[in-house]
Structure 1
């Protein structure tokens, strides 16, 4: 009984592993790695006295982004800390409609892969599924980056946080897995989607080999872990 129950799962995992091996290149051979330097260079860029990594594999309507803004704003406003003494990192990874991975990509990607429909996010301008990255939009009535009676937080969008010194990490392994998911939805081939995603990351987003390793390395470097 046990053996029979596990057979389908074993076959599925084997297929996933084979597909991943087929579309994965050694990290040192990737164009993205060459463009951004070593996979851990982002750690040395966290030079502030107050350093925190905000880990949010789930999007939760941008709650993690709003918490990064809260961290920065409170240190500046309540503690009088200069912006240069604050370093924040956000994690973009996992797969499925609830994940944060779609935050990492430009408007063209959102339109091409119908991500608004996939994520269940509408555009207040068109009143239709979003074809632009709403986590990078400054709309006052944005359906994400919004907390109940408090209202919208346009300064919590990706680009605005980058301007405040935030580094965003994108997991390469999650990109591979998400490419498989999108390919299974008929959006293209795994190889084609993976290449397309890596070519259409938002400017400044850093591709790391695996988020589980990036989080560990951040903690080793003394960067506070903030689970979202």
Structure 2
């Protein structure tokens, strides 16, 4: 019998192998690196915990939902943010992915992330800084675009609150998929942004503070479930 899924599976494994080679990974090793990331769940505190799974940036709306989760526990249930633990994810592939949300302004500028992702500021120019990390009220144009509406005051007030740094201050843990990172290295090399080795070194040296690289997001999701962290697909 012909296995019609064989070719797609081979293509997927081929892409994974290429990403691994670009990232300098070993298919037979890596156990030490994997073990070092197993304890990321211990950084998720509180009695109310939720894993927000977003492979796409969706113009900041996954971050809005994390803030909403924390804020609603405070306003509706009187639960302080120290009792609420949240997790956000950086992974995926292509211009719509969330992978580049986890890097600092140097990467955004060097690799023209705003242009790559089609993310423009209020003047219509591609962002050269990580707009998701420390957004200002002017950056609410992203939320307005997501809502397909004109910008308005409530969005301007909300935007600075849903930045990655602010969410980290409220106890949110952000993790990045190593496999997705390796895949982005391959893509950036193919786009003529440098050699895989140089790109890989630059990306890993310029993660946002507090971001933990996990071996694979599919495993991290399982680990979160085992740790009693609820799951929310974005």
Q: Is the structural similarity TM-score above 0.5? A: yes
Deviation at 1:154, TM superposition (A): 1.3
> What is the aligned-residue RMSD (CA, Å)?
2.5
1:226 and 2:232 matched: yes
Match of 1:118 in 2: 116
Counterparts of residues 132-143 of structure 1 (less than 5 Å): 132-142=129-139, 143=141
Counterparts of residues 36-115 of structure 1 (less than 5 Å): 38-115=36-113
Per-residue displacement from partner, 1:57-105 (whole Å, max 9, x unpaired)? 0111011100000000010111100221100000110110010011000
When the two structures are superposed, what TM-score results if normalisation uses the length of structure 1? 0.87
SS in 2 for 1:215: helix
Match of 2:155 in 1: 151
1:24 and 2:25 matched: yes
Match of 2:196 in 1: 190
Change (3 A) 1:155 1:183: same
- 1:101 and 1:40 mapped to 2: Cα distance? 20
- 2:63 and 2:52 mapped to 1: Cα distance? 9
Deviation at 1:191, TM superposition (A): 1.8
SS in 1 for 2:116: helix
Q: Which has the higher contact order (CA 8 A, sep 6+)?
A: 2
Deviation at 1:21, TM superposition (A): 3.3
Match of 2:127 in 1: 130
- 2:13 and 2:224 mapped to 1: Cα distance? 30
Q: Which runs of 5+ in 1 are unaligned?
A: none
Aligned length: 219
SS in 2 for 1:134: coil
SS in 2 for 1:91: strand
